[in-house]
Structure 1
């Protein structure tokens, strides 16, 4: 596949890095230093220039491309780039990255509005991810697959947990849950029966939502795993606003803190079931007065990351039940984690995952990365030609070149937790874990 990435800031360069190993990638940017950096790190061709200009797009061979990605920092430029690319090459699939939710909303209602095949909005995706975590607040990371029928959750095994120190085969798992992988800072291991669940290890689970919730109660019995009800959002930017709006749609009544008076007033009008507080979220006296210690979850969605780290640690120290932080720069994620923050969400990673889904083999419905991109959880639809179809899983997996773990199967709207004797069928949706380094080969073999 020939891919043209226009705009190689943090998102664009990450996408180019991820695609360069399997595809022919051409990167375009006005910034010569960015192009030099990506050339030194990745096997890509580069062109310097304004990607919204026809002559630059021609030089980047857009007329022969299979995929064109507009990933500059300007929404209108990305839309213009994609619509121009479509005019030059009707066969190209175009993806525009946008920040303004209004563009995304318009495109969702009228796909022909911008002549763009797909739009991806970081703020909307981030808010959606935050709301998914709200439904399972003891998890570090939560994603839903199969239109909500299957959930992936990552947990840390507490030292006092009744399962700490036991092997997987020692446990009596409910039928609706599969353990797929364990991680620490250095190692990743696909789960076997002999895998030991050491205290502090991170465990990746796939299963039906109710059974995963029940497992969370077994893992941390002293902690309620019911959906968080008392939620405080720090920061009334687009992520904070979208998070509050989605929480209202679920029947919740969050509180939202915004420092700017005009913005706070506008938010109060837009969010009828949210209590908007106009104040400084970095003020510990204010947080204490507002009862942070009694909240189930604090969502810290301020910018820049340094300010967000301050409010996150303040909320934790003041006794918040859990703290979720939005982290924009990859290098800061480990700082937040080492500071005791329960969960981090990275808007750029959300966008990268959504873009990469369109570059994988046909049939990919969703993809999410875990543990600093060391592993992937993928939803893929099987075709009649798949070597897995019509055979028990324990036999069929021999045709796949690398190990993977099948977490769940969605068949005709029903969720099956697969075992060795399960026979897969055409049009089954598999939710599976695979190591990132070998995922392309595994998915191609399916």
Structure 2
């Protein structure tokens, strides 16, 4: 597909990197020559320097023939104007990054008036993900599928756990819970396991099931913790605003510590139910005075990764039950994995993931199945993709034990008429099903691609 991206910042560069590796023709427009030079040296893309709002420059970049125009500059107004011009020039689809709460509150109207295919708000999406983790703090990661009816949840097997030394086939016999362990990370190795795989303490595992079954599993393991009822947020950014609003709506007590006085005044006006403290949230004495040790959860959302990580580590040392840290730089994930911090959140990665899902849905819009949901796991080494089966193909009606799938591909869950099926060898995929596929090292755009030999 021919895709034009306006803005080579955090989101734009992350989207370009993912889409270029999937074989799309990518052109980036940006006024920053240095950023473009770096992008051109590290990715197989074409760079165009200039103002993305210029119709002449958009024509030069091939927007009239583009399948998709993505506007991801730091200014919402510029993004919306770029998409409006691009749509007028003939771009088939347009996506704008819109972060301002006032604009995002009326996004449906804006989408209709501007002809937007999609609006992406990294901070709002990240706030929803953090909120899920705070509602179920036992998990390290939670990814929803089938509009929330199925979840893919990450956890670490504790020392001396009953799971240590247990083969996967014995899980149901031992615990009577309907779950499927679909990914295991053991040190630096990522495994799509079979039933004979044996778990060890220290393994990071991802399980898929209905939420009630996952909660039951955590309870029998002795890992279940009640949802956070008091949350301290360090940094009063847009993400802090969206998160506080989300948490207040579910009756969580929220305290935000922000060093900028003007920002504190704005947050006081916008979030009257929250406690806003004008202080340096990275100062140990401030944290102690504001009751860090008594809070159920800490979320660090400053603009500095180093500050977020240091405060997060201090909170864990103070025995805070749940610590979530925002990071921008994803290039040191192997180090982050070894830190005693519960969860890391990257708004740019979440936004990029949503855009990639949309692109894959565009690709197979006339195929046998459609991408409904896409999540990346374990430093993007694993994908979990939800497909809607729309017509007959080589994967339909075949018992899974007879379906020849490619290596490192697992049919994790089937949703049929609202019923959640953890599939066995005799189960089949049928037209109308939603199917969750977990795969390592592949980019799936159509359900038929799981077969060793494509039939259809």
For the aligned pair, the TM-score class normalised by the smaller chain equals: over 0.9
- Does the 8 A contact of 1:294 with 1:319 survive in 2? no
Structure 2 partner of 1:351: 351
Q: Normalising to structure 2: TM-score of the pair?
A: 0.90
Does the alignment pair 1:419 with 2:424? Answer: yes
Matched, 1:204 2:206: yes
Match of 2:320 in 1: 320
**1:318-342 CA distances to partner (integer Å, 9 max, x unpaired)?**
2211210111221355554433111
Alignment of 1:63-212 (within 5 A): 63-89=64-90, 92-172=92-172, 174-212=176-214
What does residue 35 of structure 1 align with?
36
CA distance in 2, matches of 1:30, 1:109: 30
CA deviation profile, 1:263-316 (whole Å, cap 9, x unmatched): 334323433433333332122223223332232211111122222223212212
Q: Deviations over 1:151-197 (max 9, x none)?
A: 11111111122112322123335443111010134211111122121
Matched with 2:46 is 45
Equivalent position of 2:295 in the other structure? 295
Partner of 2:454: none
Task: Supply the distance in 1 between the matched residues of 2:224 and 2:53 (Cα, whole angstroms).
Answer: 52
Instruction: Tell me which residue corresponds to 1:408.
Output: 413
Partner of 2:378: 371
Tell me, yes or no, if the aligned pair for 1:327 and 1:333 is still in contact at 8 Å. no
Distance 2:203 2:313 in 1: 23
Give the drift of 1:123: 0.6
TM-fit CA distance, 1:344: 0.3
Q: 1:437 aligns to what SS in structure 2?
A: coil
Aligned to 1:225: 225
In structure 1, distance between residues paired with 2:296 and 2:3:
44
Match of 1:431, SS state, is: strand
In structure 2, the residue matched to 1:388 is 395
Instruction: Work out whether residues 175 and 417 of structure 1, in 8 Å CA contact, stay in contact via their aligned partners in 2.
Output: no
Give the Cα–Cα distance (whole angstroms) in 1 for the partners of residues 44 and 347 of structure 2.
26
Measured after TM superposition, the shift of residue 442 of structure 1 is 5.7
Distance in 2 separating the partners of 1:72 and 1:141:
29
Stretch deviating more after TM superposition (78-87 or 26-35)? 26-35
Does the residue aligned with 2:263 lie in a helix, a strand or coil?
helix
Superposition deviation, residue 376 in structure 1: 1.0
1:34 to 1:289, Cα distance in 2 relative to 1, 3 A: closer
CA deviations over 1:215-260 (Å, ceiling 9, x no partner): 22334x1x44222223222222111111111112223222222233
Question: Alpha carbon RMSD of aligned pairs, Å?
Answer: 2.2
Verify: 1:309 aligned to 2:309, yes or no: yes
Spell out, residue by residue over 1:61-120, the C-alpha distance to the aligned partner (whole angstroms, 9 max, x if none): 11111111112222222111111110000x511111233232222213553233322110
2-side partners of 1:115 and 1:109: how far apart? 10
Please say if residues 401 and 441 of structure 1, whose CA atoms lie closer than 8 Å, have aligned partners that are also in contact.
no
Give the 3 Å change call, closer, same or farther, for CA 373–416 of structure 1 in structure 2: same
CA distance in 2, matches of 1:56, 1:381: 38
> 2 CA distance for matches of 1:17 and 1:164?
38
**Equivalent pair of 1:259/1:279 in contact (CA under 8 Å):** yes
Quote the offset at 1:13 in angstroms.
Answer: 2.3
Moved more, 234-243 or 331-340: 331-340
1:6 maps to which residue? 6
SS at structure 1 position matched to 2:413:
strand
Structure 1 length normalisation: TM-score?
Answer: 0.92
Structure 1 CA distance for aligned equivalents of residues 98 and 248 of structure 2:
24
Unaligned 5+ runs, structure 2: 452-456
Report the CA distance between 1:350 and its aligned residue.
0.6
